[in-house]
């Protein structure tokens, strides 16, 4: 148990390390997002002309095809061919615009390559400052003046937890089965009382005052008969 305690202490240290690293990563990510936004605005001027050229090159072909579709004299076959051609032109336009966006992203990546490395270096330095409490640190701890491997007993602890989980599942299944049986008895009792009284509607779980006959006692009596 002392080994388990030492193991738990190291797990806490690892969790604390992970929490601090996550906080630092969030800071770096927030900083990097701001740099990305600034870089995106900066390179936009370099790709804006390319995007405008794509829009202009496809504007007239798309307009002509849409005008053809407005012709009332077109046959069904001709209309289908024009629609197919329009779909192909629209897809080509989307591909061309996607190419422009890829170019923009490449320019952003080139501008931020140094910043990305700097962020990684800062995170590595921060992790080093936290010491050996992080992942990969020593698994040896001191218990009563003796060095022990906190990994010892890990399998036994896992088996104990697994056994407890199994018992919990068994108890939950038993509880659910008993509850199902109780609900079934209640349903049977309600049906019997309903047939005897010839009610049109029986309400359950009423949460407001209504003008109706309360058959709770009668249902309870029937349930007791079923249980006996």
CA separation for the pair 63, 57 (Å, rounded): 11
Q: Does one domain contain both 81 and 167?
A: no
Share of the chain above pLDDT 90, in %: 12
pLDDT at residue 33, as a whole number: 87
Report yes or no on 157 lying in a domain.
no
Report yes or no on 25 lying in a domain.
yes
Q: Are strands 140-143 and 146-149 parallel, antiparallel or unpaired?
A: antiparallel
Count of the separate structural domains present in the chain: 2
Share of the chain above pLDDT 70, in %: 74
Give yes or no for residue 143 having a pLDDT over 60.
no
Q: Which residues constitute the domain of residue 179?
A: 162-227
Q: Does one domain contain both 85 and 185?
A: no
Q: Does one domain contain both 177 and 148?
A: no
Q: Is the whole-model pTM more than 0.85?
A: no
Here the tokens at position 59 are 């504007």
pLDDT at residue 197, as a whole number: 74
Q: Does one domain contain both 202 and 123?
A: no
Return the C-alpha torsion angle 183, 187, 192, 194, nearest 10.
130
Q: Does one domain contain both 140 and 171?
A: no
Q: Does one domain contain both 46 and 125?
A: yes
Q: Does one domain contain both 171 and 74?
A: no
Q: Does one domain contain both 94 and 202?
A: no
pLDDT tens-digit readout, 157-194? 667 667 877 888 888 888 888 888 888 888 888 888 77
Helix (H), strand (E) at residue 143: strand 140-143
Average pLDDT, the chain: 78
């Amino acid at each position: 148990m002392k080994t388990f305690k030492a193991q738990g202490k190291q797990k806490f240290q690892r969790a604390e390390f992970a929490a601090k690293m996550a906080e630092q990563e969030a800071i770096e990510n927030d900083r990097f997002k701001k740099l990305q936004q600034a870089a995106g605005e900066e390179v936009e001027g370099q790709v804006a002309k390319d995007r405008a050229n794509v829009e202009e090159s496809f504007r007239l072909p798309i307009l002509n095809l849409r005008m053809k579709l407005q012709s009332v004299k077109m046959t069904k076959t001709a209309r289908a061919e024009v629609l197919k051609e329009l779909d192909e032109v629209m897809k080509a336009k989307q591909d061309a615009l996607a190419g422009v966006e890829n170019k923009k992203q490449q320019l952003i990546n080139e501008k931020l390559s140094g910043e990305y490395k700097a962020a990684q270096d800062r995170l590595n330095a921060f992790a080093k400052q936290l010491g050996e409490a992080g992942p990969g640190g020593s698994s040896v701890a001191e218990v009563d003046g003796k060095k022990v491997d906190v990994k010892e007993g890990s399998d036994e602890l896992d088996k104990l937890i697994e056994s407890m989980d199994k018992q919990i599942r068994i108890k939950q299944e038993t509880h659910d089965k008993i509850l199902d049986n109780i609900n079934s008895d209640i349903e049977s009792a309600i049906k019997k009382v309903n047939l005897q009284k010839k009610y049109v509607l029986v309400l359950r779980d009423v949460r407001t005052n209504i003008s109706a006959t309360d058959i709770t006692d009668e249902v309870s009596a029937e349930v007791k008969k079923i249980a006996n």
